[in-house]
Amino acid sequence: MQFQEIIYDWNLINLPQVSKNQIELCDETLRDGLQSPSVIDPPLEIKKKMIHLMNDLGIFIADIGLPGAGPRAVHDVTELAKYIRDEKLKIKANCAARTTIADIKPIAHIQNQVGIPLIAYCFLGTSPIRQFVEDWDLEKLLRTADEAINFAIKENLEVAFVTEDTIRSQPDTLKKLFEHVISLGCNRLVLCDTVGHATPHGVFQLVKWTQRLIQKSHENIQIDWHGHNDRGLGVINAITAAQSGCHRIHGTCLGIGERVGNASIDQLIINFKLMGLYERDVNKLVDYVELTSQACQIEIPINYPLCGTDAFRTATGVHAAAVIKAEDKGNSLLADMIYSGVPAQWFGKTQKIEIGPMSGLSNIRYWLKKKGLQYSDDLLQKIFTKAKSSDRILNDQELLQIAESS
């Protein structure tokens, strides 16, 4: 059986052409993610485990910190860079920096000390609102970029120029800044939705405008997208950026970050995998999310995609009956997909059928069968009556007590 024969997928109609594995993911969990006011900054050894899982998931590059923030940040960034080197991990590393020599200098020092390349992601506020508050003008921005990027390149650092709040920045300002940093030797532009203002349409317009500017430069410049989630559009904006032509997409595990957070990199992996754009092994995605949850002391919402406790759990009679019928056809993937848009087994998860007030007899038969219990019509009816009178899902202990008393 070919699933194309029994699923009509509107998602594939006139889909923008993005070649497989063209998309690179940048994991910002250990930098932008840790800027969340509610998270715990994990111990170094846990950060190393997180980096290893990022590597195992095929994430291309990780932001390992902002060493300009102080001695602890310098120490952790140095040790993480050494870990990537010593473990011979494939994942690349970058560091965040304000567009100042003071922030770039420790990145250059760590690169020289450890001996692996570090990309300096240098951010500079460019929106009119930021310029007004800071009393900056375009000439000030150009001088700042000129001084910092020239210093970084002399220190043999690859530079990505990050325009903070790009989505609310004026085209004339961006044009002059982008053209200038390209002339200095910067080969990567990072478009940012720093405050979660963007809509998918805005993302598309900004990316296409930037592509036209790059074409006129005749240089090989690549584009990143870095977005936040204040309007709940972080993931769809990131997907739109990828489909519009961005080469590298940023996110954080569980979407942690400033205010309501960033685009969720785990949700991006799920979506890119289902879109056929991410061919890496994703079996350790759940492990990564759960480790991050524990390390940062951020609870996973019960309805969170893939890793929430309700992600593949149902007590609804109609849904459960369909899953059971699909299983009876001897095809586990069919059972996975009949009432789920995400195949649980791809990520090491399984469908779970519970018993509650919305359940039918199919749920009860299924639960008893899974527990290896013999049952009669009388037992089925007792559990059914109990479930219908309940205001919640019955737990295993309650169900076993009914079974044992019959």
What pLDDT is stored for residue 4 in this prediction? Answer: 59
Would the pLDDT of 22 be above 80? no
Q: Quick one: which of 164, 233, 249, 239 has its CA closest to 199?
A: 233
Rounded Cα distance between 24 and 122, Å, is 19
pTM of this structure: 0.93
Residue 380 CA to chain centroid, in angstroms?
44
Q: Quick one: which of 70, 139, 370 has its CA closest to 362?
A: 370
Which pair of tokens denotes residue 240? Answer: 């739109």
Rounded Cα distance between 292 and 299, Å, is 10
391 pLDDT band, cuts 50/70/90, is: very high
Q: Hey, what domains does the chain have and what are their CATH numbers?
A: 21-296 (3.20.20.70), 313-404 (no CATH)
What pLDDT is stored for residue 3 in this prediction? Answer: 57
Q: Which amino acid is at 346?
A: W
Place of tokens 């485990």: 49
CA atoms within 13 A on the CB side of 400: 6
Rounded Cα distance between 44 and 64, Å, is 11
Q: Is 396 exposed, middle or buried (0-12, 13-18, 19+ CB in 10 A)?
A: exposed
pLDDT tens per residue across span 124-161: 999 999 999 999 999 999 999 999 999 999 999 999 99
Q: Of the given ranges (13-17, 170-174, 256-260, 361-365), which has the lowest mean pLDDT? A: 13-17
pLDDT tens per residue across span 197-219: 999 999 999 999 999 999 999 99
- What 3-state DSSP class applies to 235? helix
Task: Kindly state the DSSP code that residue 56 receives in the 8-state scheme.
Answer: H
What pLDDT is stored for residue 1 in this prediction? Answer: 52
pLDDT tens per residue across span 253-278: 999 999 999 999 999 999 999 998 99
CB distance 15 to 244 below 8 Å: no
3-state helix, strand, coil in the chain (%, to 5): 50, 15, 35
Q: Quick one: which of 266, 247, 244 has its CA closest to 255?
A: 266
